[in-house]
Amino acid sequence: MPRATLDVVDLKILRILRDEGRITNVALAERVGISPPPCLRRVRALEESGYIHGYHAELDPDLIGYEVTAFCHVGLISQAESDLRAFEALVRSWANVRECHMLMGEDDFILKVMAPSVDELNAFIISHLTSAPNVKNVKTAICIRRSDRKPSVPVPMA
């Protein structure tokens, strides 16, 4: 359960960890102006409260061989809750779908899909996405260039 309020130190901790997840506790404590033991207690409390879900490394998709990023807008035949959950479960099984968001509006979902090539993206769309149960239509936009990417979510300055 999230803590009721975050103070200025908590917000600083969240901003720094969002941008520099590998920072040591000692360096983090110094940056936020408290000693290491209470800093570690605050980080643990933020983790336990659900503010911090985990830590990860940001990988370069081109160097790993994923040169194509696409956004697939998906419309479903049925929007019954059981059908929405079934689609979400299926999407979680596809490793090249990196994000899935349910939408309000014309489309039901938008998926961020990564593939080594346009041909492999097309193969995925045909063999998995458009042939999936309950899928009515798919509109795909291929990303030409990523202009900006900010990690995680904005954290208020307090």
Q: Decide if 155 is inside a domain.
A: no
Same domain, 21 and 42: yes
**What is residue 1's predicted lDDT score, i.e. its pLDDT?**
52
What's the rounded Cα separation, in Å, for the pair 20 and 58?
11
Return the residue matching tokens 């239509």: 137
Q: Decide if 19 is inside a domain.
A: yes
Overall residue count recorded for the chain in this entry: 158
Asked if the model's pLDDT at residue 151 lies above 90, the reply is no
Q: Decide if 154 is inside a domain.
A: no
Same domain, 33 and 87: no
The per-residue pLDDT for range 107-145, each reduced to its tens digit, is: 999 999 999 999 999 999 999 999 999 999 999 999 999
Token duo for residue 6: 């975050």
Token duo for residue 60: 């370069």
- Domain limits for position 136: 61-142
Task: Show the 3-state SS of the chain.
Answer: CCCCCCCHHHHHHHHHHHHCCCCCHHHHHHHHCCCHHHHHHHHHHHHHCCCCCCCCCCCCHHHHCCCEEEEEEEEECCCCHHHHHHHHHHHHCCCCEEEEEECCCCCCEEEEEEECCHHHHHHHHHHHHCCCCCEEEEEEEECCCCCCCCCCCCCCCC
Same domain, 13 and 67: no
The per-residue pLDDT for range 48-103, each reduced to its tens digit, is: 999 999 998 889 999 999 999 999 999 999 999 999 999 999 999 999 999 999 99
Same domain, 44 and 78: no
Angle at 134 between CA 66 and CA 79, to 5 degrees: 105
What's the rounded Cα separation, in Å, for the pair 67 and 115?
6
Q: Decide if 2 is inside a domain.
A: no
Compute the half-sphere exposure of residue 89: CA atoms within 13 Å on the CB side of its CA.
8
**Residues 6 or more apart whose Cβ sits within 8 Å of residue 153:** 18
Q: Decide if 152 is inside a domain.
A: no
Same domain, 44 and 69: no
Same domain, 65 and 44: no
Same domain, 122 and 68: yes
> CATH no. for residue 115?
3.30.70.920
16 contacts 29 by C-beta, under 8 angstroms: no
Read off the pLDDT of each residue in 19-27 and give the average, rounded to a whole number.
Answer: 95
Give the count of domains, the chain: 2
Q: Decide if 54 is inside a domain.
A: no
At 148, the pLDDT band (50, 70, 90 cuts) reads confident
Q: Decide if 39 is inside a domain.
A: yes
Same domain, 125 and 70: yes
* Mean pLDDT across the chain: 94
